[in-house]
Amino acid sequence: MARLVVLGGGVSGHTAATFAAKWLGSAHEVVVVTPNAKWNWIPSNIWVGVGQMSKEEVTFDLAPVYAKAGITYKQAKALSLNPEGNETSDKPFVTVEFTETGKAGTTENIEYDYIINATGPKLNFGATPGLGEGSNLGEFTVSVCTADHAVHAAEELEKCIQTMKKGERQKFLIGTGHGMCTCQGAAFEYIFNIEHELNKAGVRDMADIKWISNESFLGDFGVGGLHMKTMGYAVSSKIFAESLFTERGVDWIIGAHVNKVEKGKAHYELLDGSYGEEEFDFSMLIPPFAGVGLKAYAKDGSDITATVFAPNGFMKVDANYAAGAYENWKATDWPKTYQNPTYSNMFACGIAFAPPHPISKPMSSPNGTPINPTPPRTGMPSGIIGKAVAHSICDKILKGENAPLHEASMAHMGAACVASAGKGLFNGTAAAMTIYPVVPDFDKYPGTGRDTDYTFGEIGLAGHWIKHILHHLFIWKAKLKAGWTLIPE
Amino acid sequence: MAGKKEEANIKAYSQNFTTMTPGPFAKKMRTCVLFQIIRFIIINLKMLVVVSKSH
Ligand SMILES: Cc1cc2nc3c(=O)[nH]c(=O)nc-3n(C[C@H](O)[C@H](O)[C@H](O)COP(=O)(O)OP(=O)(O)OC[C@H]3O[C@@H](n4cnc5c(N)ncnc54)[C@H](O)[C@@H]3O)c2cc1C
């Protein structure tokens, strides 16, 4: 009997674990180690953050789902890996610390035959003074990265709406809280949901809404921008985004590294080296992401963290980490199998794998401060990669150690992104975008780097309906309800 | 005021002066249920192709 341990029960890990359990059956064991008792459909946190959905609508209890799937569930967080075992045993193991009430703080070593690291990001609020401490959100801004954060954001938003109703103007500042952030798409969606809600509440004219981000141009989205087929043109996402911001009366600051946050004020440095500050009454700034800080030890107990993990804490996989300057970047730099190069029974998927380099052009201010988006690993790629990795491991278990690995390169993979504004079926709209491939391949698609037949974007009710459907479909799938395997990642 | 409402947010000499802005027809189509049902089918089909090319 082989044991697969999956670290992290988020989008990627949950997909990997549930498919592995289905494919392996009861002859082998799948263990999920994840610190939260609930699964969260993170994209819908945006609607929670404007008070249009409750936390309960975007989360559900993991224990009954894992019981149904025959998965061993440990409500715990992984601390360290011993891929060679220790002095008393050759068997690899992971050390976990329980988070569930009653067992909190106790540790256990779980032996494994295969392991998947799907621990997602550490929300590194602490990287910007005033934004928070470590992975904890500070007191001056709000966040929509977790369902609890989003509930708090909605409460703060409601306070601002009440203040505006009393006749006092309010300033909203939404975007990224550091020069090396990713996830601009989430902030983009949130700013337009706020704008929509303020309109609905009849206080839009009392609000100054501003975007601040580390993108060098509006519409970069961490993928170096994209060209979308519209009206017979391949239109840059810069035009698309600037048009939307203008239409909705939202101003923007770009190329910004937020370097300090105080009560009601964000300080920033721009790509041209100048400094500025922006006042706010309400601010949602996405934190930079890092790996969750897992350690790795060799058999003799020596620290091999730097062998297994990149300096940013994400796990090294089969990527080309030596591509160098952006002129040398190739689509083939991106990982295909997500296997760790040192330990072949170790894989990483979703946000937890270390990308070879950014997708956006690297930039820094004359003061030497790097200001450019880091590459996103959004929901669809995270799910697809999770499934491919699970497939590889199941094949190794069922067909033998030499079974070929499955591939899921982000340079051969698309992503669909629907940024909604509003939740009502007939009064909301959404910018629906697909991008293919996520990582541009300038050899295969000279010019834009992408297939413009499948890279498109448009605004309308249709995208909004898709967003609604995706919400219900993905929660249905994650709960392993009838036909879940038919719903694509 | 003779100007068009939908162009009013563009500000002279500002960073948004260079962008495009939708006119009333483009805006109307975004919420025209019949047109959006057609777009819904097309976008879904395109997304399904992207999904199938990605697996
Ligand atoms: C507000 C917001 C909106 C978004 N909207 C969209 C969208 O519309 N479309 C889209 O495609 N993507 C969207 N994304 C991105 C999407 O949520 C991520 O791409 C996806 O969640 C990544 O999956 P993951 O499994 O890598 O990480 P996660 O889903 O974050 O899962 C990581 C899991 O690991 C657990 N974990 C953490 N530390 C440990 C540890 N030490 N040991 C064990 N487990 C651990 C965590 O608790 C979590 O359960 C959005 C993100 C945000 C923040």
Angle between helices A379-399 and B33-54 (to 10 degrees): 30
pLDDT for the residue numbered A423: 65
Say if residue A482 is exposed, middle or buried (CB neighbours under 10 Å; 0-12, 13-18, 19+): exposed
Cβ contact B18–A242 (<8 Å): yes
Whether the link from the prior residue into A437 is cis, omega within 30° of 0, is: yes
Interface size, chain A vs chain B, as Cβ–Cβ contacts under 8 Å = 91
Q: Does B28 touch chain A (CB under 8 A)?
A: no
A73 sits in which H/E element: strand A72-82
A345-390 tens-digit pLDDT: 999 999 999 999 999 999 999 999 999 999 999 999 999 999 999 9
Distances (CA, A) of A123 to A127, A140, A269, B11: 9, 16, 21, 37
pLDDT for the residue numbered A416: 82
pLDDT for the residue numbered A99: 96
Phi, then psi, of A263 in degrees rounded to 5: -60, 115
Distance from CA of A434 to the nearest CA of B (A): 7
Phi, then psi, of A307 in degrees rounded to 5: -80, -40
Please name the residues in contact with A125: beta carbons below 8 A apart, sequence gap of 6 or more.
A131, A132, A133, A134, A135, A136, A137, A138, A143, A177, A287
Q: Is residue B7 in a domain? A: no
Contact criterion met (CB below 8 Å) for A416 and A431: no
* Confidence check: pLDDT of A169 > 80: yes
Q: Is residue B49 in a domain? A: yes
Q: Is residue B30 in a domain? A: yes
pLDDT for the residue numbered A467: 86
Cβ contact A460–B31 (<8 Å): yes
Pairing of strands A136-137, A456-460: unpaired
Given pLDDT bands bounded at 50, 70 and 90, which one contains residue A254? very high
Q: A33: left (phi > 0), else alpha (psi -120 to 50), else beta?
A: beta
The CA distance from A72 to A262, in Å, is: 44
pLDDT for the residue numbered A418: 81
Of B20, B31, B54, the CB nearest to A461: B31
Given pLDDT bands bounded at 50, 70 and 90, which one contains residue A450? very high
Burial A73-94 (b: 16+ CB within 10 A, else e): bbbbbbebbbbbbbeeeeebbb
Q: Does A412 touch chain B (CB under 8 A)?
A: yes
Number of domains in chain B: 1
* Confidence check: pLDDT of A285 > 60: yes
DSSP letter (8 states) at residue A371: -
* Confidence check: pLDDT of A136 > 80: yes
Interface confidence (ipTM) of the complex: 0.91
A6-29 tens-digit pLDDT: 999 999 999 999 999 999 999 999
Q: Is residue B5 in a domain? A: no
* Bridge partners (DSSP) listed for residue A251: A210
Q: A5: left (phi > 0), else alpha (psi -120 to 50), else beta?
A: beta
Residue A210 tokens, joined = 């501003």
Q: How many CA within 13 A on the CB side of residue A187?
A: 35
Contact criterion met (CB below 8 Å) for A454 and B50: yes
A224-245 tens-digit pLDDT: 999 998 878 899 999 999 999 9
Q: Which of A268-277, A304-313, A405-414, B15-24 has the lowest mean pLDDT?
A: B15-24
Burial A23-44 (b: 16+ CB within 10 A, else e): bbeeebbbbbbbbbbebbbbbb
Q: Does B45 touch chain A (CB under 8 A)?
A: no
The CA distance from A215 to A229, in Å, is: 22
Closest to A161 measured CA to CA, from A204, A212, A190: A204
Given pLDDT bands bounded at 50, 70 and 90, which one contains residue A464? confident
Pairing of strands A132-133, A38-40: unpaired
A176-213 tens-digit pLDDT: 999 999 999 999 999 999 999 999 999 999 999 999 99
Burial A117-145 (b: 16+ CB within 10 A, else e): bbbbbbbbbbbbebbbeebebbebbbbbb
Q: Is residue B34 in a domain? A: yes
Domains (ranges, CATH) in chain A?
3-123+289-367+375-399 (3.50.50.60)
A104-127 tens-digit pLDDT: 999 999 999 999 999 999 999 999
Contacts of A488 in chain B (CB under 8 A): 48, 51-52, 55
Best B50, B51, B53 member to test A by mutation, with max A CBs in 10 Å, is B50
Phi, then psi, of A376 in degrees rounded to 5: -80, 150
pLDDT for the residue numbered A430: 82
* Rounded average pLDDT over A455-463: 89
Of A249, A381, A489, the CB nearest to B9: A249
pLDDT for the residue numbered A425: 73
Average pLDDT value over all residues in chain A = 95
pLDDT for the residue numbered A230: 80
H/E/C letters for each residue in B1-55? CCCCHHHCCCCCCCCCCCCCCCCHHHHHHHHCHHHHHHHHHHHHHHHHHHHHHHC
- The residue of chain A nearest to residue B8, with distances taken between CA atoms, is A247
Given pLDDT bands bounded at 50, 70 and 90, which one contains residue A424? low
The CA distance from A315 to A311, in Å, is: 9
Pairing of strands A114-117, A3-7: parallel
Cβ contact A436–B22 (<8 Å): no
Residue A369 tokens, joined = 């401060």
Instruction: Return per-residue pLDDT of chain B as tens, 55 residues.
Output: 577 888 889 999 999 999 999 999 998 999 899 999 999 999 889 888 888 887 7
The CA distance from A452 to A464, in Å, is: 22
Given pLDDT bands bounded at 50, 70 and 90, which one contains residue A298? very high
A286-296 tens-digit pLDDT: 999 999 999 99
Residues in the ligand 1 pocket, defined by CB under 6 Å: A 7-13, 33-36, 42-43, 45-46, 77-78, 118-120, 144-145, 183, 186, 292, 350-352, 377-380, 382, 417
Closest to B22 measured CA to CA, from B2, B4, B42: B4
Count of residues in chain A: 489
Residue B45 sits in which domain range? 23-55
Given pLDDT bands bounded at 50, 70 and 90, which one contains residue A415? confident
Phi, then psi, of A31 in degrees rounded to 5: -115, 135
Distance from CA of A254 to the nearest CA of B (A): 11
Give SS3 for A43. Answer: helix
Say if residue B18 is exposed, middle or buried (CB neighbours under 10 Å; 0-12, 13-18, 19+): exposed
